[in-house]
Structure 1
Amino acid sequence: MISTISNLQERDLKHVWHPCSQMKDYEDFPPIVIKSGKGIYLYDENGNRYIDAVSSWWVNLFGHSNERISNALAHQASQLEHVIFANFTHEPAILLSEKLVQLTPEGLNKVFFADNGSSAIEVALKMSFQYHMQKNKPKKKRFLALSDAYHGETLGALSVGGVGLYNEVFQPLLLDTVRAQGPDCFRCPFKDKPERCNAPCLSFVEEKLELLHEEISAIIIEPLIQAAAGMKMYPPVYLKRLKALCLQYDVHLIADEIAVGFGRTGTMFACEQAGITPDFMCLSKGLTGGYLPLSVVLTTDEVYEAFYDDYDTMKAFLHSHSYTGNPLACRVALEVMKIFEEDNIIEEIQAKSAYMKQIASNVFCGLPYVGEYRQTGMVGAIELVRDKVTKEPFPGCDRIGYQIYKIALEKGLLLRPLGNILYFMPPYVMTKDEISLMIERANDAIQEFFAKYK
């Protein structure tokens, strides 16, 4: 039997529960059935083509059905698909670990494998806590996180998240997290500008540390961009000063580079721009170029040594996943690292991001309902506001971003919103002409919506 598009949609809705969705919405707007992808484009069962401007949830770096990555995956699948990672190892994991240590900030010499971003966050939180317990600092049982933070959706990750949409209902189950107001450069309470500020908003974190540092195991942060909060961007000086505070108060720094790593901010890793080495760095998403689930936590020799002893001391880090260090995912990730190195991808990202910023700023900044167009590397965000002068936001119930998203899809553009913020996070293989087309279609969708908006 040949499945029709409507038949597949009906069968999907009969059994599939989609993420980050109110399933009732699917009654009027059923899921689009994607048949194939190539480069920056996705193709549905009806032959419609969509520019994947969000890299399919920020993971696809080098285009769909990338020939190099596909070939690497096929070759590895013919040799070894998986093996237990306790007391066993394999070449792809070893080579990938060596490459990641080489690429990340100096001092991150140990690599722990997991299988998704939330799991990496759980690993870092647990490692930090257990480190302090084994260093005879039993009071350090809490974590400090920023307002509007997002670190994943397992219970530990939700505990350090600050976006109520995701964690509010689960509050009775969550850890007792210390919360500090995070940076908000668009609505800066100090009336400062990112290009000239010295991060006065870090005082909110410093106040908490002065009072509670003996209880705090680690601070967790999304370097340079708070992504799910609406692509809130802030300058590197904030990170630099934050690292100094962590050293001063004997608190670990966990850098959640799951969304912003691997070139997204214009450097291989966001922490590079501040010249800092965190105690833990969590990586996932772009690590495998969108092919397979994989995450890693990199940490220092100092942390590692606190767990290194005879087994009967029970200092070992007893955390595992069935698919830890999966050879297929490791081999794919290794090929992604080779592409970065052999094709000078960071230089290419910097050139394309400068072009994207110039074009997008010219197009969007003059629109009456655009409060700001902001960009860091290959991440651009359009913040829609009711009033450009006061920066008054649209009420959340208006769901303006969602309506524009649906219009953009009709124009062949996948531009998923974050509330009333629309963002670009395209694959790096996008050409300058395709960048212009992406921005043109986004502009058309915004103009079409506001032509009807009352």
Structure 2
Amino acid sequence: MGQFLSSSRPASRAILHKTDTDISDSSSNLGHPQTPFDGLPVLAKAKGHYWYPSGGPRILDACGGAGVACLGHGRRDIFGAITTQMKAYSYASYAHFKTTPVQELSDWLVDSTGAKMRKVYIMCSGSEAIEAALKLAIEYFVWQGQPHRTNFIARDESYHGTTIGSLSASGHIARREPFQSILVSSRFHRVPACNPYRQRLGPPGAESDADFVIRKAAELEAEFQRLGPDTVAAVLLEPVVGAALGCVPAPSGYLAAVRAVCDAHGALLVLDEVMCGMGRTGWTHAWQGEGEGVVPDLQTIAKGFAGGYQPASALLVGERVAGLMEREGRTFTHGHTYQNHPVVAAAALQVQRAVEREGCWRGC
């Protein structure tokens, strides 16, 4: 989290250094079938911020892999938290037990939002978290007697995951193209991305931030009207777009404008902070940089959440949805085998405590 945002740049383009140790090349003995990735180096170990392939120079992990390893590799404090939890119990079904590490992590996450988000579901990948957010948005309106709210509005040049639902929402053309025949185009719709560098009207300086935001809000309002405002369940967007647009933040006021359109039509606001969250914008949660008025109804986090020490993601649920669940005793019809995994939770909590203690995000 020392860098602003990470990307999944291939190892071949990372920074190379002379190897510290002579590690023999064992790749020829793997005996695996040919794949498009056969040319990649075989990793022998990783330490600190370096990878050590089985042959060749060490490689500076400047991108944290796929934007994940925010604290580097080999942290003994995180190993300790993981092994301590595994000695107690390594797995417990979310449907049968509450566990201390999940409860402690959930409490930490709620506190990190200033109690603006109220409920937490721990999962293992960003795509899982997005799928859960989409499903919870639908079920929320079923509980409200509005089952006709089945449309989602996302943005062009966006990336929300690789499962069918999350890819249907995404505007990442190359990743969508092979699967167009099964993506749910009838329920997932997109408006233009928010790219103030490329999309301003007229010569430089002719369109102010305020005017640009008004135009972006008008585009969103037009899509609500096209679909029918009472058919839209949620607007889904990345506060800072990562893989699909190139670390592009929105101008000041944009999130507030989107929030206002959603509120005007009763739709939920879902913020995908899988890549840009957990400190990568100088705030624990990217939406906090917009001020008190902009709080999502649902939020997803992953990547730097557990720093690669365990596969971890989470869905955070705000007052509007969580409050209804509490008042009416509603239960989300959802679940994964590894949901609320105690070892995942122990790792993520230790990573976040280290980030907080060491001030890793303060230089952003």
Relative to the length of structure 2, the TM-score reads: 0.85
Equivalent residue number for residue 408 of structure 1: none
Equivalent residue number for residue 179 of structure 1: 190
Q: What SS does the aligned partner of 1:261 have?
A: coil
Matched, 1:304 2:318: no
Equivalent residue number for residue 222 of structure 2: 207
Matched, 1:316 2:327: no
Contact 1:59 1:289 (8 Å CA) reproduced: yes
Cα distance per residue 1:249-291 (max 9 Å; x no partner)? 1110000000001111222111011122100010111111111
Separation of aligned partners in 2, 1:310 and 1:278: 21
Q: What SS does the aligned partner of 1:121 have?
A: helix
Equivalent position amino acid for 1:150 in 2: Y
Instruction: Please report the RMSD computed on the Cα atoms of aligned residues, expressed in angstroms.
Output: 2.3
Matched, 1:119 2:134: no
Matched, 1:332 2:350: no
Q: Which runs of 5+ in 1 are unaligned?
A: 18-22, 351-454
Separation of aligned partners in 2, 1:268 and 1:196: 29
Separation of aligned partners in 2, 1:195 and 1:90: 53
When residues 331 and 6 of structure 1 are mapped into structure 2, their CA distance, relative to the original with a 3 A threshold, is closer
Cα distance per residue 1:102-153 (max 9 Å; x no partner)? 1125421111122211010010000001111211112211100001110001
Equivalent position amino acid for 1:338 in 2: R
When residues 305 and 268 of structure 1 are mapped into structure 2, their CA distance, relative to the original with a 3 A threshold, is closer
Q: % of aligned pairs identical?
A: 29
Q: Please state how far the C-alpha of 1:201 moved relative to its aligned partner.
A: 2.7
Contact 1:105 1:277 (8 Å CA) reproduced: no
Equivalent position amino acid for 2:197 in 1: F
Equivalent residue number for residue 399 of structure 1: none
When residues 342 and 196 of structure 1 are mapped into structure 2, their CA distance, relative to the original with a 3 A threshold, is farther
When residues 35 and 265 of structure 1 are mapped into structure 2, their CA distance, relative to the original with a 3 A threshold, is same
Matches within 5 A, 1:17-416: 23=36, 26=37, 30-104=39-113, 106-175=115-184, 176=186, 177-191=188-202, 197-198=209-210, 199=213, 200-211=215-226, 212-275=228-291, 276-307=294-325, 316-347=331-362, 349-350=363-364
Q: Which runs of 5+ in 2 are unaligned?
A: 1-22
Separation of aligned partners in 1, 2:104 and 2:69: 22
Contact 1:105 1:271 (8 Å CA) reproduced: no
Relative to the length of structure 1, the TM-score reads: 0.69
Cα distance per residue 1:376-421 (max 9 Å; x no partner)? xxxxxxxxxxxxxxxxxxxxxxxxxxxxxxxxxxxxxxxxxxxxxx
Q: What SS does the aligned partner of 1:179 have?
A: strand
Separation of aligned partners in 2, 1:71 and 1:106: 29
* Range that drifts further, 225-234 or 59-68: 225-234
Separation of aligned partners in 2, 1:193 and 1:331: 49
Number of residues paired by the alignment? Answer: 333
When residues 56 and 195 of structure 1 are mapped into structure 2, their CA distance, relative to the original with a 3 A threshold, is farther
Equivalent position amino acid for 2:209 in 1: C
Equivalent position amino acid for 1:215 in 2: T
Equivalent position amino acid for 2:190 in 1: R
Equivalent position amino acid for 2:334 in 1: H
Equivalent residue number for residue 10 of structure 2: none
Equivalent position amino acid for 1:222 in 2: E
Separation of aligned partners in 2, 1:182 and 1:44: 39
Contact 2:242 2:275 (8 Å CA) reproduced: no
Q: What SS does the aligned partner of 2:230 have?
A: coil
Indicate the structure whose relative CO is greater, using CA pairs within 8 Å and at least 6 residues apart.
2
